[in-house]
Amino acid sequence: MKTLAAIAQEFKVQESTVSQLLEGLQRNAGRQVQFNIAELGGMGQWQAGGMVMVGDMFNNELKAKVDKLCRVLVELPVETENETFVPIQPAVGSRRFASIKGSQNGISYAYYQTEDILEITDENGLKKYDTKGYLLTGVQQSQSNDARKLSFSHAGGRVEVEDLKEV
C-alpha cells in the first residue's frame, strides 16, 4: 500500500498536492477533480477517461503527469498517518460518462474515450464517430455566417469531425 508521501516522491510533487487531489477525487467518486495548484500549472481539471486541462495548456508533459497521478490515486489503496483510503469506485449506475462534453449554438458533443466514440447531436439528430487512434483532449468550435464547425485536439494536433469515420 502506498502512502501519500511515497506517491508525492514518485511524482516529484509536494505531499499537500497529492492530498488535495485525493480529497477532490473522493468528493466526485473518482470521476473528476478540479484544482488550483501552482506546481500543476495553476487551475486545471482531470476527468476519468482521459480529459486533462492545466493552466499551462500546451505543456503535454505536465498533462501526462497530472493524468498519471490522478489515475494512481483513483486505482490504488492509499494510506495516510491516520486513515486508509480504499480505491475510489464510481457511483452505482454511472458506468458510462463522457471524458469531454459540452454544447453551444445548437450542437452538443460527448466523447467516450473508453469506447473510442464521439457523439454529436445537432438539428439533424445524433451521429456517432469512431475516434480510435485519437485520444481527444479538447474541443474548438468555430462559426461563420450559417456554418458551424467542431474540431478536437489530441496529442498529435487537431482532428476535424469530417476526418472521423461515422459509425
DSSP secondary structure code for residue 161 in this structure: G
Confidence (pTM): 0.50
Structure confidence at residue 146 (pLDDT): 66
Given CA atoms 124, 125, 131, 136 in this order, what sign does their dihedral have? positive
Mean pLDDT across 42-70: 89
Q: How many angstroms separate the CA atoms of 52 and 113, rounded? A: 12
Structure confidence at residue 62 (pLDDT): 93
The residue ranking higher by pLDDT, 97 or 16, is 16
Mean pLDDT across 37-61: 88
